[in-house]
Chain A
Amino acid sequence: MRKVLILLLLAAFLPGSEHNITVIKNPKANIIEKPAIPLKHVRTIPLRLANNVFNIDPISATADGDGNIYLYDKFICQVRKLDKNDNLLSTIDINSAYKSWQIKKTRRPAFIQYSRNHGLYVYDPMMTTLLRYNKQGKLIERFEKVPFINRIVVSPDGGVLLPEFIENDLVFKCLGKKNVLFRINDYKHEFLFFKQEGAYKFPPRGLFLAGSYFLYLDRDRILIFSIYSSRLILLNKSENVTSNKLLCPKEALDSFYHELLLRKKETFTKVIPFYFNPFFNLNEKLLYVQSRIKTGKSTWGNYIYVFDICGTMNHRLVFDDFKNKYINFLVKNDQEYWVLVNKKIYIFKEET
């Protein structure tokens, strides 16, 4: 009896016993790298966009597919629409959606996403409000008390997809609707790439939002890419996972192992991702993911891997003269890559 009690107590104190998160140990490289195409720095977005419009603290960006980029500036709570040549086309003041002066005075982060058929979506996590603007920058729809999301996924019908965990199942519902659109049974197996104790501190929904990129591929399919487990999952409406592939290039895996060894203590409190800043280009049907590759003892370079929806590597890009830089976001506009580093936006182009 005493032994059973001791065992129960031990089990209660073991990390991870409260969450059913599975960790995958010792993954093997399964992708052979192709020669990298260099990305050359072309220009930097100026601090002053127009006479009295400044680009002080851009934190979120989205492209509209016509060559225009929308930038959200946290300092002034405005969305700025820029054309291909960084000319300011228009600004949308998010604060005008609120009445309180106190709200107007606070610098607030926001996530933005452009949908070709439904306009610009802005999610304000401090106010838990989702705003929808038309092409002319007019507020046309407003949703209050929206649970936290760090990316806005718009369905072909204009609904916003929200992930939720029901026990161990990951389900996706549209905002304001109760019916489940997509479901993955027992998603816990897809969580972690490899043992990192810090993961047990996060609730499953938080861990999924922090570490996963997902989008509506077409009416019946969604694509999920986990930056921790480096898995690409295709899911259709009839509750079937049509593909589930590990994307592990050898150099990225070696670099990741090295990073984990260096930051052994940190893995008990934090979770270190394998990839960063994923985004999907709907025109090309390609997934772009950034990775940091060690190039020396204390130096690392930034690479972009490009995969198709089946998980086959299409090509690989390397940022020229851009070592030891932490990239905050990455957006592709035609042939240009807009990269945010330390509050400045650098524009890169593929070298032909």
Chain B
Amino acid sequence: MNKSSRVLFIIVTALLIVFVFTTVRLISISRSLRNSLPYLLLNESIGGFELVNEQGERATVRISEKPSFIFVFSRPCSPCDQNIGLWNAFAEMFSEKMNFYGIILDEPGAMGYLREKTKLGFPLYVPPDIKVFTSTFRLRLPHSQTIIVSGKGKVAYLKPGVLTQDDFSRIVEKCEKY
């Protein structure tokens, strides 16, 4: 091996090492960044998660086949109150072709109160462990979130807070295509 090829070999090896290190670093940065983000990202995969229904039965939800609507809400939350009418409207319009999950992040007993007072037209659930659920869905409480998950289990739409007239039209347009 002559001098020039040795120099080239060293440069290529160094570049390769830098590339591997940078890639590993970027992957770890992206993971930590993703975890530190306040909300889920569009097209992010949502795996299965555990919920407890109104009868107290535990069920594992696997988002597949049918697209799903996930409404996250709690009791002391003004955007949630404003969205309830719209959520009921979505449930009335798309309950045949989509699954609906109203997820309550509140103290035990809130489910009965919300069912009675707000006249919700979709099934309600509570996560068995609120802390785990909030970190998985990257939620900030008290907060309202409207999430649409496609049949492939990926986030197709996400809106934290109050839904506007534009959001409503966008959601209807999206869901009518399913």
Chain A residues packing against B (C-beta within 8 Å) = 47-48, 52, 54, 56-57, 75-76, 105, 107, 342-343
Residue of A48, A52, A75, A105 touching B85 (CB-CB under 8 A): A75
Residue of B88, B93, B169 touching A48 (CB-CB under 8 A): B93
Decide yes or no whether B86 CB sits under 8 A from chain A. Answer: yes
Decide yes or no whether B164 CB sits under 8 A from chain A. Answer: yes
User: In the assembly, what is the distance between CA of A10 and CA of B43, in Å?
Assistant: 69
Q: Whole-angstrom distance from the CB of B134 to the nearest CB of chain A?
A: 28
B85 with A56: CB separation less than 8 A: yes
A343 with B88: CB separation less than 8 A: yes
Question: Nearest residue in A to B169 (C-beta to C-beta)?
Answer: A52
Complex contacts, A75 vs chain B, CB 8 Å: 85-86, 165, 168
Decide yes or no whether B10 CB sits under 8 A from chain A. Answer: no
B89 with A56: CB separation less than 8 A: yes
Complex contacts, B92 vs chain A, CB 8 Å: 47
Complex contacts, B85 vs chain A, CB 8 Å: 56-57, 75, 343
Q: Whole-angstrom distance from the CB of B85 to the nearest CB of chain A?
A: 5
Complex contacts, A47 vs chain B, CB 8 Å: 89, 92-93
**What is the size, in residues, of chain B's interface with A at 8 Å between Cβ atoms?**
13
B31-70 interface bits toward A, Cβ cutoff 8 Å, 1 = contact, 0 = none: 0000000000000000000000000000000000000000
Question: Nearest residue in B to A95 (C-beta to C-beta)?
Answer: B165
Decide yes or no whether B82 CB sits under 8 A from chain A. Answer: yes
Decide yes or no whether B119 CB sits under 8 A from chain A. Answer: yes
Chain B residues packing against A (C-beta within 8 Å) = 82, 85-86, 88-89, 92-93, 119, 164-165, 168-169, 172
User: In the assembly, what is the distance between CA of A343 and CA of B172, in Å?
Assistant: 19
Complex contacts, B119 vs chain A, CB 8 Å: 342
Question: Nearest residue in A to B92 (C-beta to C-beta)?
Answer: A47
User: In the assembly, what is the distance between CA of A54 and CA of B163, in Å?
Assistant: 15
Complex contacts, B86 vs chain A, CB 8 Å: 56, 75
Looking at chain B's contact residues, the main secondary structure is helix
User: In the assembly, what is the distance between CA of A57 and CA of B89, in Å?
Assistant: 10
Q: Whole-angstrom distance from the CB of A103 to the nearest CB of chain B?
A: 13
With A47-B93, A48-B93, A75-B86 known to touch, is A54 a contact of B168 (CB < 8 Å)?
A: yes
User: In the assembly, what is the distance between CA of A52 and CA of B85, in Å?
Assistant: 17
Question: Nearest residue in B to A48 (C-beta to C-beta)?
Answer: B93
User: In the assembly, what is the distance between CA of A105 and CA of B82, in Å?
Assistant: 14
Complex contacts, A343 vs chain B, CB 8 Å: 85, 88
A-B contact pairs, 15 of them (CB 8 A): A47-B92, A47-B93, A48-B93, A52-B169, A54-B89, A54-B172, A56-B89, A56-B168, A57-B85, A75-B85, A75-B86, A75-B165, A105-B164, A343-B85, A343-B88
Known contacts A54-B172, A56-B85, A75-B168, then 13 further A-B pairs from the complex at CB < 8 Å, ordered by chain A residue: A47-B89, A48-B93, A54-B89, A54-B168, A56-B89, A56-B168, A57-B85, A75-B86, A75-B165, A76-B165, A107-B82, A343-B85, A343-B88
User: In the assembly, what is the distance between CA of A100 and CA of B124, in Å?
Assistant: 39
Q: Whole-angstrom distance from the CB of B150 to the nearest CB of chain A?
A: 23
Complex contacts, B165 vs chain A, CB 8 Å: 75-76
Q: Whole-angstrom distance from the CB of B172 to the nearest CB of chain A?
A: 8
Question: Nearest residue in B to A46 (C-beta to C-beta)?
Answer: B92
Question: Nearest residue in B to A341 (C-beta to C-beta)?
Answer: B119
User: In the assembly, what is the distance between CA of A268 and CA of B46, in Å?
Assistant: 51
Complex contacts, A342 vs chain B, CB 8 Å: 119
Q: Whole-angstrom distance from the CB of A144 to the nearest CB of chain B?
A: 25
Complex contacts, A107 vs chain B, CB 8 Å: 82
User: In the assembly, what is the distance between CA of A48 and CA of B172, in Å?
Assistant: 11
User: In the assembly, what is the distance between CA of A47 and CA of B93, in Å?
Assistant: 8
In order of increasing CB-CB distance, the 5 nearest A-B pairs are A342-B119, A57-B85, A343-B85, A47-B92, A56-B89
Q: Which of B89, B93, B119, B164 has the most CB of A within 10 A?
A: B89
Q: Whole-angstrom distance from the CB of A281 to the nearest CB of chain B?
A: 30
Q: Whole-angstrom distance from the CB of B123 to the nearest CB of chain A?
A: 18
Complex contacts, A105 vs chain B, CB 8 Å: 164
Complex contacts, A48 vs chain B, CB 8 Å: 93
Complex contacts, B88 vs chain A, CB 8 Å: 343
Q: Which of A48, A75, A342 has the most CB of B within 10 A?
A: A75
Complex contacts, B169 vs chain A, CB 8 Å: 52
User: In the assembly, what is the distance between CA of A253 and CA of B173, in Å?
Assistant: 51
User: In the assembly, what is the distance between CA of A75 and CA of B82, in Å?
Assistant: 10
Q: Whole-angstrom distance from the CB of A102 to the nearest CB of chain B?
A: 12
Q: Whole-angstrom distance from the CB of A157 to the nearest CB of chain B?
A: 38
User: In the assembly, what is the distance between CA of A107 and CA of B84, in Å?
Assistant: 14
